[in-house]
Amino acid sequence: MIQIQCKETLYTYNLYHIVKAFFPDTKIEQRVDAGQEPLVQLKLDGGSCFCVAQADVPYAVGQEKKRIVTRLVYEYLSEITGRRMVWGMLTGVRPTKLAMQKMENGMQTEEIKKFLMGEYYVSGQKASLAVEIALRERELLSRLDYRDGFSLYVGIPFCPSICSYCSFSSSPIAVWKEEIDAYLDALCKEITAIGSMTGGKKLNTVYIGGGTPTTLSAAQLERLLHLIDETFSQEHLLEYTVEAGRPDSITKEKLEVIRRHPVTRISVNPQTMQQKTLNLVGREHTVQAVKDIFRMARELGFDNINMDLIAGLPEETAEDMRDTLEQIKELAPDSLTVHSLAIKRAARMGQDKMHRSLYTEITQMVEDAAQTAEKLGLVPYYLYRQKNIAGNFENVGYAKVDKAGIYNILIMEEKQTIFAAGAGATTKLVLPHKICLDNGKETNLIRTENVKDIHEYMSRIDEMIVRKEREVSEVSGLMETQRNK
């Protein structure tokens, strides 16, 4: 067991993740004791102890103090283990954020790389990747109108069957079959209300996700897409994604419906091209179905198709992943999103029991996926790491230069307002400047969450619309005040 004792809560998050990265299989106990003398005391297995005293950070305060303390602990752990982490002491979910901030502050790319390597011990390869992605994110986001533009998310919380690793709140369509029209009634009401709330604003991106939107029948899909066409002007639309997702929900008729609307991008997600794994995780479709649906979509004229893969599905080896990647290469999607299943797998196995060989295996899978993406002419355009997990697993989106999913970046960068409709959907209203909330936290993001429960969503839709209208009106007032300052 490793004990981390901190004088202030300021360091706890960073130190936990740094220690976990070096000792993934060891239990960590963390305590905050305002009365203790050193700022940080680290007691390792075997009795060795490391302290950071106030004298080690004489003039630093706040974030700078946290950075120095984290750095000292990182240096110590690196020295005693003889190891370095590829993302160095960056523990956040978005390691590219720092590169982006520096870029926005006018720092040149070579300087940013040096800064990440020198100040945060990021490896040369990851520093280059962070800068490469930040440059692409910046270019893609520059197409959005932050002031008068907005994005729309529509959630369909149904799936053909529930995958064993699913962390979304999705329900099997068969159970809800008789109530889908009622769900659509509520959803359409909310979309229409969003149309009124956003009158005069520019719709930049649309994302229909879930769940699996293509669990709707062709007629239900038509109803939804037609309403969106009627409600919002497409004049400023940059991207319109429908997550077709599970091949066992897609038919030619549904793809034809989607084609009749201004949808620019769809996802056909195999997650793996290993039949044994699909069976094991409860995805009731075949590998052949993935290929057939993908080719059908191409024949119908879809020229921007994303495929999602997961590294680390149960009982999969690096060899399985290599085979999957070979099959994906033949299909040649326009973008490829590679997730790591580390969190869910670790959660089930118990993080501490997660064996090092699994880390090595997943790392290999992720590296092989990166190479395949490169061979397909796809470049990385967004990246986020997984929270609460040791190791350096990342979820990376690769795309042909003009086929990247802007919405994917938007949900992480939180620079433009996203109106969200559907059970469990969260509307994020973005203010130009930060405000101080009642709890003392500073933010420029105001969230309005819909209830997750589908029955409750349907029965309380009016209440949720009124709440959203109230928030929007308050935020609009704040925006005006901030802009006029």
Cβ closest to ligand SF4, residue 211 vs residue 391 = 211
Cβ closest to ligand SF4, residue 26 vs residue 251 = 251
Residue 411 and residue 395 in contact, taking contact as beta carbons nearer than 8 Å: no
Residue whose pair of structure tokens reads 């080896």 in the numeric block:
317
Cβ closest to ligand SF4, residue 20 vs residue 344 = 344
| Strand order across the beta sheet in which 202-210 lies | 379-385, 394-399, 335-340, 305-311, 265-268, 239-245, 202-210, 149-156, 418-421, 426-436, 442-449
CB of 367 to ligand SF4, least distance (A): 24
Q: How far apart are CA 261 and CA 228, in angstroms?
A: 9
CB of 337 to ligand SF4, least distance (A): 12
Nearest to 318 by CA among 279, 269, 381, 371: 371
Cβ closest to ligand SF4, residue 18 vs residue 342 = 342
Residue 100 and residue 139 in contact, taking contact as beta carbons nearer than 8 Å: no
Cβ closest to ligand SF4, residue 86 vs residue 338 = 338
CB of 4 to ligand SF4, least distance (A): 34
CB of 86 to ligand SF4, least distance (A): 28
Q: How far apart are CA 298 and CA 427, in angstroms?
A: 33
Classify 225 as helix, strand or coil: helix
Query: Would you tell me which residues interact with ligand SF4 (CB under 6 A)?
Result: 159, 162-163, 166, 168, 170, 211-212, 245-246
Cβ closest to ligand SF4, residue 195 vs residue 424 = 424
Q: Which residues pair with 4 in a beta bridge?
A: 30, 42
Residue whose pair of structure tokens reads 């149309």 in the numeric block:
195
Cβ closest to ligand SF4, residue 163 vs residue 293 = 163
CB of 246 to ligand SF4, least distance (A): 5
Cβ closest to ligand SF4, residue 211 vs residue 424 = 211
Nearest to 88 by CA among 66, 125, 121: 121
Alpha-carbon distances of 391 from 64, 108, 184, 346, rounded to whole Å: 25, 29, 42, 11
CB of 277 to ligand SF4, least distance (A): 13
CB of 419 to ligand SF4, least distance (A): 21
In angstroms, how far is CA 2 from the centroid of its own chain?
Answer: 31
| Strand order across the beta sheet in which 40-43 lies | 28-32, 2-6, 40-43, 49-52
CB of 169 to ligand SF4, least distance (A): 9
What are the backbone angles phi and psi of residue 209, rounded to the nearest 5°?
-135, -155
Cβ closest to ligand SF4, residue 154 vs residue 430 = 154
Q: Is the dihedral of CA 455, 456, 462, 464 positive or negative?
A: negative
Cβ closest to ligand SF4, residue 155 vs residue 380 = 155
CB of 344 to ligand SF4, least distance (A): 10
Q: How many CB atoms lie within 10 A of CB 355?
A: 11
Q: Token pair of 374, please?
A: 């490169």
Cβ closest to ligand SF4, residue 115 vs residue 168 = 168
Q: How far apart are CA 202 and CA 150, in angstroms?
A: 6
DSSP codes of every residue in 407-455: HHHHHHH--S-EEEESTT-EEEEEEEEEEE-TTS-EEEEEEEEPPS-HH
Q: How far apart are CA 383 and CA 413, in angstroms?
A: 11
Q: How far apart are CA 303 and CA 266, in angstroms?
A: 9
CB of 157 to ligand SF4, least distance (A): 8
Cβ closest to ligand SF4, residue 239 vs residue 243 = 243
